[in-house]
Chains A and B, each alone.
Chain A
Amino acid sequence: DQQVKQNSPSLSVQEGRISILNCDYTNSMFDYFLWYKKYPAEGPTFLISISSIKDKNEDGRFTVFLNKSAKHLSLHIVPSQPGDSAVYFCAASRGGSQGNLIFGKGTKLSVKP
Chain B
Amino acid sequence: EAGVAQSPRYKIIEKRQSVAFWCNPISGHATLYWYQQILGQGPKLLIQFQNNGVVDDSQLPKDRFSAERLKGVDSTLKIQPAKLEDSAVYLCASSSGAHPYFGPGTRLLVL
A residues neighboring B (CB under 8 Å): 4, 34, 36, 41-46, 49, 89, 91, 97-98, 100-101, 103-106
A105: which of B40, B48, B98, B103 is its contact (CB, 8 Å)? B40
Do the beta carbons of B4 and A97 come within 8 Å of each other? no
B90 to chain A, nearest CB (A): 11
B24 interface hit (Cβ, 8 Å): no
Do the beta carbons of B42 and A91 come within 8 Å of each other? yes
A97 to B91: give the CA distance in the assembly, Å.
Answer: 18
A49 to B31: give the CA distance in the assembly, Å.
Answer: 19
What total of chain B residues lie within 8 Å of the partner, measured CB to CB?
A: 22
Q: List, in ascending order, chain B residues with CB within 8 A of A91's CB.
A: 42
Residue of B nearest to A41 (CB): B104
B residues neighboring A (CB under 8 Å): 4, 31, 40-45, 48, 56, 91, 93, 95, 97-105
Q: Which of A36, A43, A98 has the most CB of B within 10 A?
A: A43
Do the beta carbons of A89 and B45 come within 8 Å of each other? no
A34 to B105: give the CA distance in the assembly, Å.
Answer: 20
- Sorted nearest first, the 8 A-B pairs with minimum C-beta distance are A103-B42, A43-B102, A46-B99, A44-B102, A100-B45, A43-B104, A103-B43, A43-B103
B91: which of A43, A49, A105 is its contact (CB, 8 Å)? A43
Residue of A nearest to B93 (CB): A43
Residue of A nearest to B98 (CB): A97
A46: which of B41, B48, B56, B101 is its contact (CB, 8 Å)? B101
A89 to B89: give the CA distance in the assembly, Å.
Answer: 15
Q: List, in ascending order, chain B residues with CB within 8 A of A41's CB.
A: 104
15 further interface pairs, Cβ-Cβ under 8 Å (given A42-B105, A97-B97, A98-B97): A41-B104, A43-B4, A43-B93, A43-B103, A43-B104, A44-B91, A44-B102, A45-B102, A46-B101, A89-B43, A97-B98, A98-B95, A100-B56, A101-B45, A101-B100
Q: List, in ascending order, chain A residues with CB within 8 A of B91's CB.
A: 43-44
